[in-house]
Chains A and B, each alone.
Chain A
Amino acid sequence: DAGVIQSPRHEVTEMGQEVTLRCKPISGHDYLFWYRQTMMRGLELLIYFNNNVPIDDSGMPEDRFSAKMPNASFSTLKIQPSEPRDSAVYFCASSFSRFANTGELFFGEGSRLTVL
């Protein structure tokens, strides 16, 4: 399996622009997580889905952030409008059936976002 695939790997944009980050989870995984990592805040959970349904979005910073999972193989995280404080590495991770096996979260390589 190719693992969790995220795109773009790097994004540089200007304040006020819309940013869309994409994630393809591992086939068969029914949980999908979006995390944001910064030096100040560490790894923050933004939102997670189970079977394409958002379960908890309490970590989404504000209304400028939105996430969707239209099907089992694709999810997006959108920031509109973007601000410099949104600069971070955004990780997508997937897992199978509530840690039924080893309990492992498989992380993508991350999308590094820089907002100027």
Chain B
Amino acid sequence: QQPVQSPQAVILREGEDAVINCSSSKALYSVHWYRQKHGEAPVFLMILLKGGEQKGHDKISASFNEKKQQSSLYLTASQLSYSGTYFCGTEIGDTGKLIFGQGTTLQVKP
């Protein structure tokens, strides 16, 4: 029941945009997005609970499709600080059990 993330890795130049996808074979109760820098703990970005919901802060936003089986994370005008591994965490049912995808490694170059 692990969600599937794509792509596995992305290399960008500063200022370019990126999209990371997270999909599940089952309808999800919630989707969480986290970013982890090398040698550090994952840090929370946002949670989406409702189908059709979109959220964002600064230039990072996310959507949760109507069927609640897919979420996408959008990084606009990427900065060097965006580099890291992005994980989606999914919850099937209101259980509190959060399962993470394999992660997408994002590298932003000057």
Contact = CB atoms under 8 A, between A and B. Distances in A.
Nearest 7 pairs of A and B residues by beta carbon? A103-B47, A107-B41, A104-B44, A43-B100, A42-B102, A107-B42, A56-B97
A83 B65 CA distance: 42
A99 B103 CA distance: 22
Interface in B17-65: 30, 32, 34, 40-44, 46-47, 49
Contact of B99 (A45, A50, A106): A45
- A contact face: mostly helix, strand, loop, or mixed: strand
Interface residues of A, number: 23
15 contacts: A33-B98, A42-B87, A43-B42, A44-B100, A55-B95, A98-B94, A99-B47, A103-B46, A105-B32, A105-B34, A105-B98, A106-B44, A107-B41, A107-B42, A109-B41
Interface of B: 2, 30, 32, 34, 40-44, 46-47, 49, 87, 89, 94-103
Interface string A82-116: 00000000010000001100111111111000000
B77 to A, nearest CB: 24
Contacts of B96: 31, 48, 50, 55, 98-99
Interface string A27-56: 000010101000000111100101000011
Interface of A: 31, 33, 35, 42-45, 48, 50, 55-56, 91, 98-99, 102-110
Contacts of A91: 41-42
Given A43-B42, A103-B32, A105-B34, 18 more contacts: A31-B96, A42-B100, A45-B99, A48-B97, A98-B94, A98-B96, A99-B30, A99-B47, A99-B96, A102-B47, A103-B44, A103-B49, A104-B47, A105-B42, A105-B44, A106-B44, A108-B41, A109-B41
A6 B25 CA distance: 34
B41 A103 contact: no
Contacts of A48: 96-97
A3 B40 CA distance: 14
Contacts of A107: 41-43
